[in-house]
Amino acid sequence: MPNQYQYVKVFAPASVANVSCGFDVMGLALDHPGDEVVARRTEEPGIQITRVTGENGVLPTSVSENTAGVAVRALLGHLGSDVGIELEVHKKMPLGSGLGSSAASSVGAVVAVNRLLGLPCTSDELLTFAAEGERVACGTPHLDNVAPSLFGGFVFIRSREPQDVIGLDCSKPLFATVVHPQIEIRTEDTRKILRRNIPLQKAVTQWGNIGGLVAGLLKGDYELISRSMQDVIIEPIRSVLIPSFAEVKEAALDAGALGSGISGSGPSIFALSRDNETATAVGKVMQHEYEEIGLDNEVYISPINKEGPRILEEVQL
Ligand code: HSE
């Protein structure tokens, strides 16, 4: 019987959803940044969010409005449990940045509570509960941030209902560069502006690229990864909301990135490179573009996180 705990603190990683051509079906996890979530047992039944730090305390502590609270409520509802749980959510990355911030909090929360309770739920069940957090954050329970944050690595979502999620193990190293220009874009808003119908020729190009990207990752073929990282459907619409998008992307490719695009729904822009040195050089030129127009920004350089969430501290019952 697995141990039960009084207190568990979990790190859950940020993620890059879509990865250019894979709108809603592809995502990757970063080693850093990530959110930290504490779960603690209490005498009083039910869920309480006692602290939210980072992001200037703008996030709600009401369980039904906070992604972590909603995700844990779904978990306890599934178990039919009224155990008393206090949550603390420590935001370590910006909201509305395209780094999967809400997903990381939901994933951290369900992983921490599942461990607290002696692992009653499977990872696939945790994915469903974390997706409920995504539903409250942006209106749809898409899995392309929660799945990589929960499982680590590159993840391909063949289907959301029924849930069919496949981990893609890239046999070659890959490093991500993510530049976050300090403006906020709400995923919910950027989904509303997308077209509902797609010309057949564009759809053919897009599914050619997603197949190529999956094959490139599995074969460890950098050239195939590079030529497949093209998004002809979503990027042309959303990129107009991101200052200097074309310049930043071009600078990343010129500096040696394999590909570059919008991270999730933006405004962050990501690039993938073969090694840390290239990823660092790519980060410098991307940042330079924002310095040119006087826009504050942050850059993150990270290998792909292969493990998903990490237990940082725990106290046994
Ligand atoms: N696939 C989602 C979207 C990810 O692009 O709207 C949001 O982070």
Residue 52 sits in a domain whose CATH number is 3.30.230.10
2 pLDDT band, cuts 50/70/90, is: confident
Does 270 contact ligand 1 (Cβ within 6 A)?
no
Predicted confidence at residue 270, as pLDDT, reads 98
| Same domain assignment for residues 134 and 279 | no
Which pair of structure tokens corresponds to residue 197? 């119908």
169 pLDDT band, cuts 50/70/90, is: confident
| Same domain assignment for residues 198 and 120 | no
| Same domain assignment for residues 121 and 229 | no
| Same domain assignment for residues 32 and 144 | yes
Q: Which residue has the tokens 């330079």?
A: 288
Does 265 contact ligand 1 (Cβ within 6 A)?
yes
CA distance 172 to 301: 17
| Same domain assignment for residues 61 and 159 | yes
Which pair of structure tokens corresponds to residue 268? 């962050």
| Same domain assignment for residues 23 and 151 | yes
| Same domain assignment for residues 295 and 312 | no
| Same domain assignment for residues 14 and 77 | yes
| Same domain assignment for residues 159 and 198 | no
Active site residue 86: no
Predicted confidence at residue 93, as pLDDT, reads 87
Residues 6+ apart with CB under 8 A from 305: 13, 29, 30, 31, 152, 153
Residues 6+ apart with CB under 8 A from 2: 118, 119
| Same domain assignment for residues 233 and 114 | no
Number of domains forming the structure of the chain: 2
The domain containing residue 312 runs over which residues? 5-168+305-316
Q: Distance from the CA of 17 to the center of ligand 1, in angstroms?
A: 6
Residue 210's domain is classified under what CATH number?
3.30.70.890
Predicted confidence at residue 72, as pLDDT, reads 97
CA distance 55 to 53: 7
CA distance 75 to 235: 35
| Same domain assignment for residues 160 and 19 | yes
| Same domain assignment for residues 29 and 78 | yes
Kindly name the residue from 134, 177, 190, 289 that is annotated as catalytic: 134
Q: Distance from the CA of 57 to the center of ligand 1, in angstroms?
A: 24
Predicted confidence at residue 54, as pLDDT, reads 87
Predicted confidence at residue 140, as pLDDT, reads 83
User: pLDDT tens digits for 63-88?
Assistant: 888 999 999 999 999 999 999 999 99
56 pLDDT band, cuts 50/70/90, is: low
Residue 59: what residue type?
L
